[in-house]
């Protein structure tokens, strides 16, 4: 079975600073990879996904992630953070009916 590790539980940044949220996964087979965002008191929304093809995927709100098969990583990045990006972010990996989520990274963007 696959597993997901989000390397930082909290990431504080200042507004307009670059953001990187790190995600590593373990799996012996090909998987699909996702990043979800959870705003306060809301459910999860899909930010972006990697199914196949280009290893650089772009999502909503200016986020992008790069799939690195050799390092089994799927880090999320944004060049310039906005106050409204403050939320919890979850990395997820799936294979067939097995979907695993990381523990989450709380991104706080300060003015």
Partner 1 sequence: EAQVTQNPRYLITVTGKKLTVTCSQNMNHEYMSWYRQDPGLGLRQIYYSMNVEVTDKGDVPEGYKVSRKEKRNFPLILESPSPNQTSLYFCASSLRTDYEQYFGPGTRLTVT
The token duo for 45 is 């929304």
Nearer to partner 1, 1 or 111 (CB): 1
Q: How far apart are CB 95 and partner 1 at their closest, in Å?
A: 6
- Which is nearer to partner 1, 102 or 109 (by Cβ)? 102
Task: Compute the least distance from the CB of residue 14 to partner 1, in Å.
Answer: 25
CB of 106 to partner 1, least distance (A): 10
Contacts with 102 (C-beta within 8 Å, 6 or more apart), sequence order: 4, 5, 6, 23, 90, 91, 92
Least CB distance to partner 1 at residue 16 (A): 29
Token pair 């998987």 is at which residue?
31
Give contact residues for partner 1 (rule: CB under 8 A). 4, 6, 9, 32, 34, 36, 41-46, 49, 90, 94-97, 99, 101-104
Which residue, 5 or 86, has its beta carbon nearer to partner 1? 5
Give the tokens for residue 74: 């799927």
Alpha helices, DSSP H, located in 1-111: none
Which residues have a Cβ under 8 Å from the Cβ of 53 and sit 6 or more positions away?
none
Pick the closer one to partner 1 by CB: 43 or 111: 43
Q: Determine what percent of the chain falls in helix, strand and coil, rounding each to the nearest 5.
A: 5, 55, 40
């Amino acid at each position: 079975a696959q597993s997901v590790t989000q390397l930082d539980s909290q990431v504080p940044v200042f507004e307009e600073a670059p953001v990187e949220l790190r995600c590593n996964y373990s799996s012996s087979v090909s998987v699909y990879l996702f990043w979800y965002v959870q705003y306060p008191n809301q459910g999860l929304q899909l930010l972006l996904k990697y199914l196949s093809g280009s290893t650089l995927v772009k999502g909503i709100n200016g986020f992008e992630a790069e799939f690195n098969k050799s390092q089994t990583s799927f880090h999320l990045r944004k060049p310039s953070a906005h106050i409204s990006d403050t939320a919890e972010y979850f990395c997820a990996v799936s294979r067939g009916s097995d979907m695993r989520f990381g523990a989450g990274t709380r991104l706080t963007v300060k003015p």
